[in-house]
Amino acid sequence: MLLDASQSQLVLVDYQAQLMPAIFEADAVAQNAVRLGKMARLFEVPVWGTEHNPSKLGENVPDIRALCQRTLSKMHFSGMEEGLGEWLRVPVKAPQGNARSLPKHLQKPAAAAEECNTIVIAGCEAHVCLLQTALDLLEDEFEVWVVTDACSSRTERNRDAAFDRLAGAGAELVTTEMVGFEWLRTAEHPAFAELLKLVL
């Protein structure tokens, strides 16, 4: 199963100014998060951010915050506990046209908007806020794809333990380039040259 950009949303978790200096491989992790956000823009994939206790940990670093359509301020470790799921659910389209234009038995049922049920997620700390958000997403029947090279914790051991647990719970583990090229699918895609600039 490959990622489909038309069914995807990107969630960037807690890349906060006061937290990042303590994060293992922080520079590479933040650079990959920025790449993910820019890739999402190329493919019109919605991008959401979260910030844990921003009064203490600060906002997300500016390059990442600027790529997010909205950023959720939270105190729970899981963003799902504070309304992230409502942002990720696509509302049903309202019926179109005049309801009296056809007899009821001839009217077509209102079509639901296509669901973007695939959540590509990355962030810090992998074993706390990212893990709890991703597990809650799985519990809420989203498909979860964790971008491993855009995630970290204060220690490598905690990060890797999170990946083991997430894989065991049913999340797909991917890399930034895997996401970009699966959203792209073909070298004939109009965004191919722009994607190459992000990964080379």
pLDDT averaged over every residue in the chain: 91
Query: Does residue 107 lie within any of the structural domains?
Result: no
Q: Which domain holds residue 80?
A: 5-90+114-199
| Domain assignment of residue 189, yes or no | yes
**With contact defined as beta carbons under 8 Å apart, do 153 and 128 qualify?**
yes
pTM, two decimals, is 0.88
Domain count of the fold of the chain: 1
Q: What is the CATH number of the domain that holds 37?
A: 3.40.50.850
Environment class of residue 158 by beta-carbon count within 10 Å: exposed (0-12), middle (13-18) or buried (19+)? Answer: middle
Give residue 15's pLDDT.
98
At 91 the pLDDT is: 58
102 in any annotated domain: no
Residues linked to residue 51 through DSSP beta bridges, in sequence order: 73
Biggest CA pair distance of the chain = 65
Given a contact cutoff of 8 angstroms between Cβ atoms, the answer to whether 68 and 12 are in contact is yes
Identify whether 103 is part of a domain: no
Q: Which residues pair with 50 in a beta bridge?
A: 13, 72
What's the pLDDT tens digit per position in 91-144? 544 444 444 555 555 555 544 445 789 999 999 999 999 999 999 999 999 999
- 106 Cβ contact list (under 8 Å, min separation 6): none
Tallying the residues shown for the chain, one arrives at: 200
DSSP state of 110: P
Q: Is the pLDDT of residue 81 over 80?
A: yes
pLDDT at 115 (0 to 100):
72
Q: Which residues lie below 8 Å from residue 30, measured CB to CB, with a gap of 6+? A: 15, 20, 61, 63, 64
The answer to whether 37 and 68 are in contact (CB under 8 A) is yes
